[in-house]
């Protein structure tokens, strides 16, 4: 796995755009690229705040943003999204990449569903959608275990403070 480095980071704004920033020692933060800002040559901003920004652990120039009713996949060289999920009937709250496959990512929704997308298998439709809870899923994390298949997802509900651990056969097949 690669890292973008300790000096490069992405920031999602409440205006629906994403900023690529660099922090050097003893210098102010430099804003490099404004992803989605139309006045700066970009396009494809979210209609509301950006709730989640996650870099791909295998290819650090690709990243996901979650805001309003869709999730968008970006590339650092482009100022617009290279892929966008369709607009869902409910808000999206979080997303994360698979720790074992570069093109697989997960999206949690406010209607309690967890969607699995495989960019290399189907680019324009969800690979698996599973109802996890009757409440909104507010956060999402995938943990890779060294001795087992990495198919444990931790989802946080909006109505409780307990974590729900979810394992599904179809998801484990996607992650292999």
| Gap between the Cα atoms of 64 and 1, Å rounded | 17
Report the Cα 152 to chain-centroid distance in Å.
Answer: 17
Per-residue model confidence (pLDDT) at position 172: 47
Mind listing the pLDDT tens digit for each residue in 57-93? 899 899 999 998 999 999 999 888 999 999 999 999 9
Given 36, 57, 85, which residue is the final one in a domain?
A: 85
72 and 125 inside one domain: no
Given 55, 85, 115, which residue is the final one in a domain?
A: 85
27 and 61 inside one domain: yes
Given 68, 85, 102, which residue is the final one in a domain?
A: 85
pTM of the model: 0.82
User: Residue 175 maps to which CATH number?
Assistant: 2.40.10
Number of domains the chain contains: 2
> Could you report how far apart the first and last alpha carbons of the chain are, in Å?
16
| Gap between the Cα atoms of 53 and 63, Å rounded | 7
2 and 51 inside one domain: yes
Given phi > 0 = left and psi -120 to 50 = alpha, else beta, which region is 68? left
Q: Which residues of the chain have pLDDT under 50?
A: 1-2, 150, 161-166, 170, 172-176
165 and 92 inside one domain: yes
Provide the residue range defining the domain that includes 31. 1-85
57 and 111 inside one domain: no
141 and 92 inside one domain: yes
48 and 132 inside one domain: no
């Amino acid at each position: 796995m690669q890292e973008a480095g300790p000096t490069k980071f992405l920031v999602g704004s409440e205006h629906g755009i994403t900023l690529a920033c660099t922090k050097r020692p003893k210098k102010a933060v430099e804003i490099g690229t404004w992803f989605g800002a139309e006045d700066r040559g970009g396009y494809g901003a979210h209609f509301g705040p950006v709730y989640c920004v996650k870099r791909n652990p295998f290819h650090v120039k690709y990243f996901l943003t979650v805001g309003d009713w869709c999730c968008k996949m970006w590339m650092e060289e482009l100022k617009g999204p290279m892929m966008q999920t369709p607009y869902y009937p409910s808000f999206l709250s979080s997303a994360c990449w698979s720790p074992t496959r570069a093109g697989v990512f997960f999206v949690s929704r406010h209607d309690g569903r967890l969607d699995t997308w495989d960019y290399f298998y189907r680019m324009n439709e969800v690979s698996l959608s599973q109802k996890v809870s009757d409440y909104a899923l507010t956060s999402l994390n995938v943990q890779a275990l060294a001795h087992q298949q990495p198919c444990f997802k931790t989802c946080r509900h909006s109505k409780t403070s307990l974590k729900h651990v979810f394992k599904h056969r179809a998801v484990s097949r996607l992650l292999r």
